[in-house]
Amino acid sequence: MIPSSLEYKRASSIDEALSMVDSGAKILAGGHSLIPALKLRLDAPDTVVDISKISELRYIKDNGDHIAIGAASTHHDIMSSSAIQSKCAMMSQTAAVIGDVQVRNMGTIGGSIAHADPAADWPASLLAADAVIEMRSSNGTRSVGAGDFFQGLYMTALEEGEIITEIRVPVVEGASSAYAKFMQPASRFAIVGCAVMLTRSGDSITKASVAFTGVSDKAFRDAAVEAALNSVSDIDTASKAAAEGVDILGDHFASEDYRKHLAKVYAKRAILAALG
């Protein structure tokens, strides 16, 4: 389909973009979420503001206790960052399995999480990493933890007039992490994706963060798996607890029962990968 008529503008700075958003414009970053919605006329804004060329939104910085990722950083930027590869491997692994080469080169982390597709990859990894999302409006800046940011089906804490500017990923000394997913072969969205971050001492696991995407109407931390994962010997037991008590999605790609089964399988795979 063809989008309804609209005006295209390109912002050269965050302040310029915010002034346009205050006038009711829609933000365009990589375009892989917005453009399909425009073509299907699920969204029909009068004005679209392209922020993809704002250099102050595209960076990856190692700040010691956290890695700061500009919202306009592409999936490829994140996949190829040596700081992310060494300090939070699951973020690099997540970026590497998003879409195809074209999507990874154009799509941005900020655009993806603002859209909050229930099958998107980033939400699970950001939840497992306890990441913080920074947003800016003409009234100032505020930060929201990933656990509060993703609120439901295509629903986030992002408010009218706000733009995501940065994602901060804590650096946890001694932690290991991994992301594993069962993907829809055409779109490469996650039918089930699992992100795991573990801190261990010998065979004991002192802290476990396990998050899923694709399973329910929003990404979520699985408290039952985390509570059961106290040592390396608990992997089977913990994996079998995955997605219990969760309202599971069912569609023509996977039934509820199959998704629940896949959640247990991919929890185990991600845990094993995180343990090396």
Tens-binned pLDDT, residue by residue, of the chain (276 aa): 677 788 888 999 999 999 988 777 888 887 767 777 777 777 777 888 889 889 999 999 999 999 999 999 999 999 999 999 999 999 999 999 999 999 999 999 999 999 999 999 999 999 999 999 999 999 999 999 999 999 999 999 999 899 999 999 999 999 999 999 999 998 899 999 999 999 999 999 999 999 999 999 999 999 999 999 999 999 999 999 999 999 999 999 999 999 999 999 999 999 999 998
Bridge partner residues of 108 (DSSP):
74
CA distance linking residue 66 with residue 7, whole number of Å: 38
Cβ atoms of 246 and 216 within 8 Å: the answer is yes
SS3 assignment, position 69: strand
Any idea which residue has 């992100």 for tokens? 195
Do 34 and 55 touch, CB atoms closer than 8 A? no
Question: Do strands 26-28 and 60-62 pair parallel, antiparallel, or not at all (unpaired)?
Answer: unpaired
Q: Could you say which DSSP state residue 3 is in?
A: P
Interatomic CA distance for residues 135 and 110, integer angstroms: 10
Pick the closest to residue 222 from 270, 168, 175 (CA basis): 270
